[in-house]
Structures are given as structure tokens and as C-alpha cells.
Chain A
Amino acid sequence: MEKWICTNCGYIYDPEIGDPENGAPAKTPFEDVPKDWVCPVCYVGKDLFDPL
């Protein structure tokens, strides 16, 4: 599973860890993260993420 980076702030989404507090349990590939999920650091949408 690939890591994805927020192109607005540099936060890295690591699928191994996920973002459990915001609807993405550990081991969730980025593609399967909910559509309305936002960057937990700067709140931009999934569109602005890029595979690392």
C-alpha cells in the first residue's frame, strides 16, 4: 500500500496507521479512505493528495 502526501501541508497518510479518528482505520489504502475525508493537519480534501 502506498503512502500519500498532502500537497498543501506535507502531512503523510500512511495506510498502515490510517487516520482512525476520522473514519480511516489502520490498513485502509488511501483509495478506500472516505471521499469526504480531509487532511487532519490542514483540512484540504483528498484531491490535493499525491502518491509519495
Chain B
Amino acid sequence: MTFKERLNQGVVLFDGAMGTQIHELNPTMEEWDHKEGCSEILNLTIPEKIKNIHKAYLHAGADVIETNTFGANQIVLDEYGLKNKVREINRVAAELAQSAASEFSSSKPRFVAGSIGPGTKLASLGQISFDALHRSYFEQAMGLIDGKVDLFLVETCQDPLQIKAALIAIMDAQVQQQVSIPMAVTVTVETTGTLLVGSELQVIITALKPYPIVALGINCATGPDKMHPYISQLCEYFDGPVMVQPNAGLPQNLNGQLTYTFDKNIFADILASFIEKDGVSIVGGCCGTTPEFINTVHHRVAKLSPAKRTPQKQAAITSLYTSVLMDQDPAPFFVGERTNTNGSRAFKELLLENQWDKVVDIAREQMETGAHGLDLCVAFAGRDEISDMAEAATRIIKNVNLPLFFDSTQLDVMEHSLKLYGGKAVINSINLENGEERAHEICRIAKRYGAALVALTIDEKGMALEVDRKISIAKRIYDIAVNNHGIAPEDLIFDALTFTLGSGDESLKTAGINTLEGIRGIKENIPGVKTILGLSNISFGLKASSRVFLNSVFLAEAVKSGLDMAIVDVKKILPLYKLDEKDLQFCLDLIYNRGDNILFDFINHFDAKSGDFVQEENKEELSLEEKIRKNIVQGKRTGMNDLLLEALKTRSPLGIINELLIPAMKIVGELFGSGKMQLPFVLQSAEVMKSSVDILEPYMEKTDEESQTSIVLATVRGDVHDIGKNLVDIILSNNGFKVHNLGIKCEIDTILDKVEEVKAHAIGMSGLLVKSSVIMKENLEEMKRRNIEIPVLLGGAALTKNYVDETCAPVLNSPVIYCMDAFKGLEAMNAIKDGTLKLAKDPVKTKTKPLIAPVKDEAPIIISRNIDIPQVPFWGSRVLENISLDEVFEYITEEVLFRGRWGYRRGAATKDEYDDLINNTVRPEYEKLKIRCKNQGLLQPKAVYGYWPCNSENNDVIIFKPETNKEILRFNFPRQNIAPHLCISDFFYPVDSGKRDIIAFQLATVGEKASETSQELYKSNVYKDYLLFHGLSVEAAEALAELNHLIIRKELNIIEEDGKGISDFVVQKYRGSRYSFGYPACPDLKENRKIFDLLEPERIGVRISDEDQMIPEQTTSAFVVHHPQAKYFRV
């Protein structure tokens, strides 16, 4: 039986640690042959003892044993002077293992895996070359083949480039010896969530897909308890058997000895759940595991069958660190074109001057403008392309997190580039211009290094202009690449070629149509392949100002025809909503060759367009005042310094502020009010306003602050939320008002003392919590008592206009204004300044309907007592670390982030306009910010959660200590005083029911760093970044809570009612409910302290303030109720 056949028959058990067992042997100096630490030499010096270790594992039930050759490659053995013994040691080790296996093969088939470890040097960090690694592994593989291993295990990998070198070396050795032996790979995911060199697991999955490996898994680093996120990722995305070999937990230092203390039964249980729940099919142990462990696992898993899996198929390429989908949503995948000697003069000059750091800057800029990948071309006559490519690529690979397209016509350049690249790159390009033999060569390189290919529709006769030729050439290339070389169809990216529409050449008039039809034809006729376009060719020869328009429109048309990727300068792509009807029409007419003189008309139209907002240099015609105003409205800081200094020649600083800047901000406010401008853009304008005032400040005489209309601003007692209040501060202070921002958690006395001290004209109170709206009313009563009756502005998420008008306003004799947003606050302040703010005399009394319509009185809700109590996986709490930020991001409600936190509301815009905004502005911002959060560790997801026995008693829920069944504490919940008179305790079995119910608690945070970063951004006056980052951080905490809740439902096995994803979860499409204190069903924040007592979240850096709120702000706590009838309600 071959190993592959065995794999098809069910769970396969590997052995445990070799190193740990050798340590137990405690070999003498003679046995070490004076090479202490070189475990591989023991194969020669004490073969029987090594064989005994193998036998112990076989006896324990292992199906597969690994040879004692972890470090038996040239590079490692060379350190012991054993370079010439590599092949011998590997042969002997394999023979030893085989002879042990044959003694046990009567009961069941046994196999020997040739262990190939990572060595001591990291290729991706430049510590060793690909070729040196390849040589080193080749020798080892030759020896293992000599000794007749049944499979290769390339294990404990830390670097994708090292894995590729090993796999390629093994394949080369197999070709030489004319054998075919399966290969498996395990990688080690560090506690940081990536491999040692920083690659995410998804990079490994994508980059190894082109290689014929029989299994992919993870090993080492941690115990099985920390591995689940990676296991489930592998099971979801890797299209083949998944294996796992955990350590026996994390090593503990006991009396100076590293000891592994993980319980073998729990170890076996977790592996069993990987098999049954996730679909893992190969298990075993790594450091610290022993024959006893393997025997326990053997008994636990022998009869199990792996859960059925349906791995997702994804076409992707990768950088060293991240995998990127080729199908971007929205399409296309942007390939930045600036790092190209043929496309960018600036780049070419930097190259000629060997300014490699600046080359990296150009690459980085493209990432920042939204590119998903980078085309890299360094070809320049007279220079050494191989060495230039190496200089540029090594730096870009390490510093810029984008997949690379190696753009060269030279085979040796292609091959050398790929030897530097751990991820999955793209070769640009292959064609048939020089016949099929050369195409075969390129396919061999692509296949060997696992790269995708850009394929141009060029054949021996030249570039294909006609649609039919484009398609037939594509088919020929497909035949060579896919049918001959086994390259995956999605790794072929066809370029149907673009020709300029700007030459007036008669034969090219329909070139645009042909390209679009070519793209469509290729996608229709050749299933599975991708398409790409060198976009800017379409407008070659035309004026720069019109090229932007034509390129953008042609791109949109190409995407409609099925284009997947485009090579572009991303910052020169306009969203179509920025084009007026006429621009669009002329571009479309030119593309579709409509009208006799269309090129002429096109050129005339765009020549006549002045003040083009893409081309800054055309701004000369605007007056100085208009330029200043325009910069504020458009949020542009560039050039503002010079403009203001110029303006100072004719105006006073205060004049500039009052006559130019503030009116410009007024326009911004109006645009915002009418829904034409979104909040982040408003903040960008405010930033420019702020920096403009800072520029003017030195020229101003000391301002008479008393004459300024002023406001004291604060978040009310017990509330720590400051984003809303700070936005008001930004808008008011940048519109000429004096703002005294007192911060958060302000007692009314503090506020009123300040009001008296500065003789403020108004008070602004903010708060997000439900209870803050009550406190606002109490504060107004205190004002009344202290006889301070000045206008009050109220804002915050929990407020409504009705509440303010009907409950708050009547308290005072001065106006109390509900401010839905910062501009309503500005409006009110302007009215105060002008003396026109009116007291709403008789607030219209509308009868408020009860928020929950009373269910018909005769039919109260019956809470079922016939609910199975789920089994908990453990009692008490556990810390959840190593959560991947990407996984957290999956549970972000983007609609809430974009529209709610960030304020990108659709409002009065059309759906198409809004979609354009989201796709062209918001999403790129979002993606960039996510990458920044990941790279700089700004968000650090951590959670602690757990399960406790509980029962209800009237309105209380009693929590018991799992071990003793004694009451630890009890929560007291309020009951609705209207029908149906619900209380959260109703959802639990009563204490006298005789059944112990269960409850889960969770507390999730994205960390202290998020709070600090928010504050830093606010203090540095980068208002837009502040808003965006703060919004994302808060939503990430919510997302993490949602993820943690899902984990709890999975562990409780109550996912039968689960909806499809986050959009369903937000409306509680799942069994039971997750409640947080401070919200309508359980408003009492004080109860939060009890959650702290249970979960001890200090372990993950979360504290509770005197006001019972959690610090950092980006934290959520909750309890999870499993009762299916438990949903949100309001008391």
C-alpha cells in the first residue's frame, strides 16, 4: 500500500518528538562523536537506540514515523564538519526507520517519512541564497531516496522561499533517481500569527498551490489549544489533506529545564475535535510529545473519520506577507505601473543613479494610492538587468506589502527574480512572438517557481488586432501552459492588447472595440482564466489632461466586458461620477468609434475644458481668494502656505479668517447639510482650516478672546465617549468660536464652574450611553437650581429630538437644542452669536407610542421550559489570543463603519453615485487603513471568555462555582413594567427546577494601542485620520465580540439557527442573544464589575473605571444566553 492510498482510508497518525526522546537517552560524548547537539550523527553512532525510539512510536500505534534527519542537510551538517556525510546519514537514517517499520507492519501498514527541517538560515531575509538552499536540500533528498522513504515531510517551515527551495530540490532529486515519492509540508505559525519571516498562513496556502504536495499542515510553536484558528483556515482554504503536529503545550521552565506539561488526554481530545469538527486527516506530535502521548491519541482517534470539507477555491497571488485575491471586489485588481523604466521617467532616473531607497518609495506610494500589485521592470540598455532586478526586488519584497509582477523579456531575469520571491509572483509576460519553444521555456520557469503568467496575444505574425486572432492566440498559449505544463487556468492572465485611439490611424479606429470584444471572447471561450490590460496605451499620444478621462472610461468599459486586472497609475483613475455627461459621452464615442470626426471632436472638447481638477497647473486663472476658498472646500493643504502669505499683503489675518476661510467652511457646512459632502471630507477641510489659522497666528495681534462667542463642551458624568464631542470641537473652533473642551466624564459642577469662569455663551453636552440622556436632564435641573440659564446644545447617539424637545427643553428657560450632528451645533452657535436663537415656546406635544407595542394583554409571552441545556466545552474562563486581525475584519459591519462611524452617508445621492464613492474612495481608504493597522500593530485583538453554571431566581441570575456548586455572585436584572413584562432572568431555568443552566461571558478588546493612537491623531489635528481610525477601532471591537460570540455558539453546538454572516448576526439571526450592560435590556453598567470578577480581563489589559466603564474604550463585554427565545428588548 502506498502512503497516498493509506491517506484515502482515513485518519493517519504520525509519531511524536524525536528530539525529546534523544534528550532522554542522554548520549555520552563518544556517542555524540564529540559533536554534541548534532542529533543526526546518532544514526551512525547508536543506530539501535534510535531504532528503539522509532519502535516505541510504532508500538504506540503510529502509522508514520519520521526519520531522524531534521537537520541533515548540507548547511547544518557543515557546521559539524559533516558536509560530506549528508547523503550517507540520510540513507542510514531512512534505512533504520524502514527496518523498524517492517517489524511492525503485520498489524497494519506503516510508513517512513523523510524529515527535512528548515535549517538555520532564512532565505527571505537574505541570510542564504536560494541556490545554496537548493543544493543543501538536494543532497539530503538524494540520501533519503537511497534509504527508501515512503514520503517526504518538509517540516517546521518558517519561510515560504525555503519551502519552495526544498520542494524543488526534492523534485529534482526524484527526477534524477527516477522515482515518485509524495511530499507533505508543515509550517510553524508563531504566536504572532505569522511564520517567522512574517508571512501569513494564507500566503503559504496560495504560494504552495502550484506544487503537487499531498498534505499541508502546521506543527510546533504551541500546543493544540492555540492552533484552532490556523487549523480552521487551512481546512477552509487548502484543497488537500490537512495535518497537525502540535507541541505538548508551551514549554515551562522547571528548575532550569524546559519541560512540557500539557495533559495528554486534553491533547488527544483537541486533536479529535480537529478531526471531527474541522476535517483534519493527519495528526501527530511535535516537541515534548512522547510515545505515551501518541498512544493516547491513537486510542482516541483511530476510529474517527474526518469531517467533510469543501475548501474554497480562490485565485490569488501574494507578497511575502499577504495573499491578495485576483478577483477584487470591485474589479479590477490594480497593478501599479510606476515602478517601470518604460513607463516612468522618474523611476528610470532613480535607477540610473542607483537610488534604491527612492525606488522603494515609488513602490510604496503606489500601495498608498490603492494598487493591489506592482509591475516591476528595470530593463535599460547598457545595464545589468539581473543585478538591478535583485537590488530593487529584495528591497521592495521586504518593505512593500504588494505582490510583484516581474516584467522582463529575459528568461534569466525571470528565473533570478523568482528565486528571491517567497510568495506567489506573476511573470510579465509570455507570448508567441518567438515561437512555441520559448513559450515552453517560460512555462517551465513559471511552473517550477509557482508563478502566475501574464500572456500577451502576440504570435509569430505579430500583435493581434482582430478579435478572432486575439482569442485563437490565447487558446494556443492556454494549450501550452495548461495542457502541457499543468499550470492552473487561473494563473494565466491574458492581455488582449490595447492600441491607441489617439493616432487617427484608420486601422486602429475600432481597436478599442476589438480589445473589449477580445476580453469578452477570451473569458467566454477559455473558462477559468483571468484578463489584464495595459490601460494607458489606449490614449497614447493624446494630451495628459484628456488621457485621464479616456483611460478611466475605457477601464470602466473593460471591466464590464470581464476585465479582472489593469496595469495603471492608480492615482490617475477617476471615478466616473466625477465626469460630467459630456466628458463621458466624448470618451464613449471615441472608444466605440461613433461619428465621423470623433477624434477631432474629442480633442476639441478636452482642449476647451479649463480648470481641469486633475491637472493642478490649470488653476492659474482663479483669483487668489477663489484658490484659498477652493483649497478649504476641497481639503487641500498643498500650496496653502504661499497663498495665505500672498493674501496677507492685502488683508489682515483676521480678515482672511473671517472673509475667506470661515465663508469657505460655511460652504463645507452647506454641502454637508445637503448630503453632498461626507463627514471625512468635512474633516479634511477642517484640517486645512486649522493649519491655515496656524499659519496666520504669528501675524495676529493677541485676540480678544472675550469678544469671541464661546462654549463649554463636555461629555457628561459616567460617559467616556469623546469622538462626537471632539468633532463638535473641531467644527466650532474652525469656524471662529472659542471652545473650552473639558473632556470626558464631566461632573455638572465642573462644567458650570468653567462656564462662570470664562463667561461662556453656551454649554454643549455629549454622551453615547442610554443613561447619559438621563444625566443630561439632571444636569439641566442643576443649572436651573444654580440659576445658570444659557443655551444648551445636546448631542449623542442615544438622544432623539423628541426626548430633547419634550423632556429636556421644558426644564430651562433658555433654549435647549438637539444637535443631530456637529453642523447643527454650528448653526445654533451662529444663531447665538447673531442673537437669533429662539426658545421653542411651546414644544409640540406628540404622544409617544410605547416603544414595544404592548402585545395583546391576554397573550403574554410564554418562555419555553423545554430547552436542552447545551454542553459546555470547559468551565471557567480562557484567554483567546493569536486572533488574526483579518478574521476580525471579516465580522465588521461595513455599512455601519462606512455610514455610521465614518459618516459616508448616501443621503440624497443616487445609488450609483453612492456606490462610486464607496468603491473609489471609501474602500481604498478602508483597505489601506486595515493594512496600516496590521503592519503597525495598531489593533491587537484579545478576548477572554468562559462558561459558568447558573440558575434564575425571580429577577436574579445566580452564578455558581463550577467545582463546588456554591453561589459566587448574582446579577440582578430589571423587568419591563409594561407587557410582556420580560426580564433577562426569564430565559434561564429557575433554581428550583432541578436543572443547572449555563451562561457564557465574554470580554473582547482591540487593545490599549488603539486608544493611544486615536488620541495622538486627534492631538495632531489630523481630523480625518482620527475619525477613520477611531471608527475602525470601535467597529473592530464589535466585530471581535461578534466573532467571540460565534466561537461560543460553535462550542456550545448551537449554530443551527445561525444566519449566513455578519449581516444576519447584527439582526440576531442566531440562537439566543448576547447582551451588554448599559444597553436597553440591562442598562445598569455597575453589573459589569461582576463580569470583571468572573473573567479577570486585567489579564488582557482591560480595566474598569470608577464610572464602571471599560478602558480602553475599544472594548466590549457581554453575557451570552442560549435560550432560543432570548432576543433584545427594552425595559
* A interface with B by C-beta (< 8 Å): 5-12, 21-23, 34-36, 38, 41, 43-45, 47-48, 50-52
Cross-chain contact of A50 among B802, B899, B1063, B1067 (Cβ < 8 A) = B899
For B763-787 the 0/1 string (1 means CB < 8 A from A) is: 0000000100000000000000000
CB of B849 within 8 A of CB of A8, answer: no
Measured CA separation A23–B820 after assembly (Å): 24
Cross-chain contact of A45 among B800, B899, B1130 (Cβ < 8 A) = B800
CB of A21 within 8 A of CB of B899, answer: no
CB of A22 within 8 A of CB of B853, answer: yes
Q: Which residues of A contact B721 (CB under 8 A)?
A: none
B605 at the A interface (CB under 8 A): no
Taking the nearest CB of chain B, how far is it from the CB of A41, in angstroms? 6
Quick one: given A10-B1063, A10-B1067, A11-B1067, are A5 and B895 in contact (CB under 8 Å)?
A: yes
| Complex: chain A residue closest to B898, CB-CB | A7
Which residues in window 793-812 of B have CB below 8 A to A? Answer: 797-798, 800-802
Q: List 19 A-B contacts (CB under 8 A).
A: A6-B900, A7-B896, A7-B905, A10-B895, A10-B1067, A21-B853, A22-B853, A23-B849, A23-B853, A34-B849, A36-B800, A36-B846, A36-B849, A38-B851, A41-B1128, A43-B1130, A45-B800, A45-B801, A48-B900
| Complex: chain A residue closest to B901, CB-CB | A7
Cross-chain contact of B896 among A9, A22, A43 (Cβ < 8 A) = A9
CB of A50 within 8 A of CB of B906, answer: yes
Q: Which residues of A contact B510 (CB under 8 A)?
A: none
CB of B848 within 8 A of CB of A36, answer: yes
Q: Which residues of B contact A10 (CB under 8 A)?
A: 893, 895-896, 1062-1063, 1066-1067
Quick one: given A7-B905, A10-B1063, A22-B853, are A44 and B797 in contact (CB under 8 Å)?
A: yes
Taking the nearest CB of chain B, how far is it from the CB of A12, in angstroms? 8
Q: Which residues of A contact B846 (CB under 8 A)?
A: 35-36
Taking the nearest CB of chain B, how far is it from the CB of A18, in angstroms? 13
Cross-chain contact of B820 among A5, A21, A35, A47 (Cβ < 8 A) = A47
CB of B801 within 8 A of CB of A5, answer: no
For B885-909 the 0/1 string (1 means CB < 8 A from A) is: 0000000010110011000011100
B634 at the A interface (CB under 8 A): no
CB of A41 within 8 A of CB of B895, answer: no
Q: Which residues of A contact B1130 (CB under 8 A)?
A: 43
Identify whether the interface residues of B are mostly helix, strand, loop, or mixed: loop
CB of B852 within 8 A of CB of A21, answer: yes
| Complex: chain A residue closest to B770, CB-CB | A43
Q: Which residues of A contact B907 (CB under 8 A)?
A: 50-51
Taking the nearest CB of chain A, how far is it from the CB of B1037, in angstroms? 14
Apart from A8-B797, A9-B1066, A50-B906, what are 15 other A-B pairs with CB-CB below 8 Å?
A7-B899, A10-B893, A11-B1067, A12-B1067, A22-B851, A22-B852, A22-B853, A36-B800, A41-B1068, A41-B1128, A45-B802, A48-B900, A51-B907, A51-B911, A52-B906
Identify whether the interface residues of A are mostly helix, strand, loop, or mixed: loop
Q: Which residues of A contact B801 (CB under 8 A)?
A: 45, 47
Cross-chain contact of B1067 among A7, A34, A41 (Cβ < 8 A) = A41
Q: Which of A7, A22, A41, A43 has the most CB of B within 10 A?
A: A7
Taking the nearest CB of chain A, how far is it from the CB of B176, in angstroms? 59
Q: Which residues of A contact B770 (CB under 8 A)?
A: 43
Measured CA separation A6–B900 after assembly (Å): 8
B843 at the A interface (CB under 8 A): no
Q: Which residues of A contact B906 (CB under 8 A)?
A: 50-52
Taking the nearest CB of chain A, how far is it from the CB of B393, in angstroms? 43
Measured CA separation A35–B805 after assembly (Å): 13
CB of A8 within 8 A of CB of B900, answer: yes
B1080 at the A interface (CB under 8 A): yes
Q: Which residues of A contact B1128 (CB under 8 A)?
A: 41
CB of A7 within 8 A of CB of B900, answer: yes
Q: Which residues of A contact B852 (CB under 8 A)?
A: 21-22
Quick one: given A34-B849, A36-B849, A41-B1067, are A7 and B895 in contact (CB under 8 Å)?
A: yes
CB of A50 within 8 A of CB of B905, answer: yes
Q: What 8 A-B pairs come out closest when comparing CB atoms?
A: A7-B900, A10-B1066, A45-B800, A7-B899, A10-B893, A50-B905, A10-B896, A50-B899
Measured CA separation A5–B895 after assembly (Å): 8
Which residues in window 387-438 of B have CB below 8 A to A? Answer: none
CB of B853 within 8 A of CB of A11, answer: no
Q: Which residues of B contact A35 (CB under 8 A)?
A: 802, 846
Quick one: given A22-B853, A50-B907, are A36 and B896 in contact (CB under 8 Å)?
A: no
CB of A5 within 8 A of CB of B1066, answer: no
| Complex: chain A residue closest to B1063, CB-CB | A10
Taking the nearest CB of chain B, how far is it from the CB of A37, in angstroms? 8
Measured CA separation A5–B893 after assembly (Å): 12
